[in-house]
Structure 1
Amino acid sequence: MLPAILLTVILAALAVFQLALALGAPIGRFAWGGQHRVLPTRLRIGSLVSIVIYAGIVLLAFDRVGAIDVVPDVVSQVGMWVVFGYFVLGIPMNAISRSRPERLTMTPVVTALAVLSLIIALG
């Protein structure tokens, strides 16, 4: 249960961050390649979509650890492996960002998310 809680805490913090980006906060150097101080509309929409994805990941994680039962077991099992793969792909993507603040901030964050999602996927 602890890995799901930690995953949720990190994703909740990222959701607040993404919401701030979507609302026009001048912190774009930490996300989406860091090319915009204030995100353009298409990336603001992407930030909102990210929040929805984070919520889905949290539901999947809590279903996988048995805290809730919202999807069939096979869906949460396979789904958490997909989530793990998603976060693993995010590690090099953040690590090669042209934005130094994004590299230094988001690479460790997505690495932690990958480790936590692996622990959850392994059951």
Structure 2
Amino acid sequence: MGFRESLEEVCAVEGAVAASVMGFDGIAIDTVTPAAPSVDLEALLVEYGGILSHVKQAAEILQTGKVNELSVGTDRLTTLLRPINPEYFLVLAMTPDGNHGKGRYLLRVNAPRLQNEF
């Protein structure tokens, strides 16, 4: 299963706005957008990727272990981020009323599959 197929599977969750495989350098490998985003999606993914990088660094400094997941909830969007490997992460942007539990599950299942694609 390739990037596109995995992202389409992740976007099958209720409330999905977009899913992407991103590099920590801010470059998207692939993105699927089943719904029209209400924000500048590219800027959001780059900025949240930067936040994930900072959280990873803080976890290393504090010796709390690897970061498995980061969730950012706002009035208009809930964004879930999961590292795939040291260079890439998987992100799912959802409406606030979407099925976040299933979204988290789909990220957890698909991240290891995507790791094999690199």
Tell me the TM-score normalized by structure 1. 0.34
Question: Larger helix proportion, structure 1 or 2?
Answer: 1
Say which one has the larger Rg.
1
TM-score normalised according to structure 2 size: 0.35
Structure with the higher fraction of residues in strand conformation: 2
